[in-house]
Amino acid sequence: MPASVKCVAVVLTWLRSRKTAEAVREPEREGEIDRREAEDFIRLYHAENPSAGPVGPRLREVLAEVSQRGTYTHTPEELEFGARVAWRNSNKCIGRLYWRSLRVRDHRHVDTADGVAEECVEHLRVATNGGRIRPTITVFAPDTPGERAPRIWNDQLIRYAGYVGSDGSVTGDPANTEITEWARRMGWRGEGTRFDLLPLLIETKDILSMREVPSDAVLEVPLRHPRLPWFAELGLKWHAVPAISNMSLEIGGVTYPCAPFNGWYMGTEIGARNLADADRYDQLPVVAERLGLDTSHDRTLWRDQALVELNLAVLHSFEEDGVTMTDHHTEARRFMIHLDKEERNGRVCPADWSWIVPPLSGAATPVFHRYYDDVSLTPAFVRRTRD
């Protein structure tokens, strides 16, 4: 093991032991599940899948396993259903209409850094699908009583590095300066560009390992504008697959802390946030200058004009390259269809208004003009803190 990895492993062990000593411990062992959560999920699975047969025998089997081991093992069918319902319950996701189409890759037997890295790369290849993006989740080993499963420190499988200069300025993505620093401590050296692909940092058994993401597994789209030839000179691009990797999949009390998943991008995620936010790539002043807009005061609405052109370039580029992407008007209409379907099926459709309403032209979309039931349902994807 390289010395840099050994050093990080020691740090992780010390931090965790200190946190454990200071925390108020629950009476159960770490990873031990709540029998009620297991029962609720098994009943839900059988209620929505009549072909699975009567719930009684399976419920007795699960509860007996929980009593013996402190946890239980989902069948492949239960895992697939649980992952899809977790997407259905995701209150911050506008794109849930196709929750049934989620492709579930069952790799619960994988618990090593090499294995996780290999399957994450394969996940990207499968999900990219030549540009026709497939909603996909890869589920690795779960936490069990007394044993932590693997974790990925990166918030997405594909992220661009953020290098902090001596003057405090950042080259690349300011959102990723911390993970970039961790990678550099472990010996990684990027090229220093605005769009360097970060390696994956994978924690297994208190050892933090680093694995490169091969560039041929990452589809990127160079951005250009349908009417402004100079836009390509800005050198902007973005990757095709938004694969979230820092959320745990929780199904019936069982936690899968390493379960990267993806849908496809809505244009505003890139054009109105990643590239536009002042604390990200901050491209609105650049675009406004090239457009010749008056930026001397806010009332000229120069930001609004620049934002529209930036988002138009994102949508145009992905469409021209044959990469799946949706626009915020279309996706808002699709969400209302999903909402109607869920209500007709007698289910609550949880939604966080601040996330469902797009960051561009919100009032021009139907999702703006109502409120939603923002409740927490399970199964669920849960934001994982680094512990």
- Judge contact between 128 and 219, C-beta under 8 A: yes
Contacts of 304 (CB under 8 A, 6+ apart): none
How far, CA to CA in Å, does 75 sit from each of 78, 157, 205?
5, 27, 25
Which tokens is 164 given?
């902090």
If you ran DSSP here, which 8-state letter would residue 377 be given? -
Handedness of CA 249, 212, 161, 328 (dihedral sign): negative
Respond yes or no: is residue 99 known to be catalytic.
no
Quickly count: other Cβ atoms within 10 Å of residue 65's Cβ: 14
Continuous segment of H or E residues that includes residue 290: helix 284-291
Contacts of 170 (CB under 8 A, 6+ apart): 162, 163, 164, 177
Handedness of CA 239, 240, 243, 244 (dihedral sign): positive
- Judge contact between 135 and 263, C-beta under 8 A: yes
If you ran DSSP here, which 8-state letter would residue 32 be given? P
Respond yes or no: is residue 120 known to be catalytic.
no
Phi, psi of 201 (to 5 degrees): -105, 115
Q: Which one is catalytic: 84, 96, 148, 159?
A: 96
- Judge contact between 172 and 194, C-beta under 8 A: yes
Q: Can you tell me the distance from the alpha carbon of 59 to that of 48, in angstroms, rounded to the nearest whole number?
A: 15
Please give the single-letter amino acid code of residue 218.
V
Q: Which one is catalytic: 264, 302, 331, 349?
A: 264
Respond yes or no: is residue 93 known to be catalytic.
yes
Q: Which one is catalytic: 93, 120, 258, 349?
A: 93
Q: Which one is catalytic: 269, 309, 331, 342?
A: 269
Quickly count: other Cβ atoms within 10 Å of residue 91's Cβ: 20
Please give the single-letter amino acid code of residue 71.
T
Respond yes or no: is residue 122 known to be catalytic.
no
Residues classed as catalytic:
93, 96, 264, 269
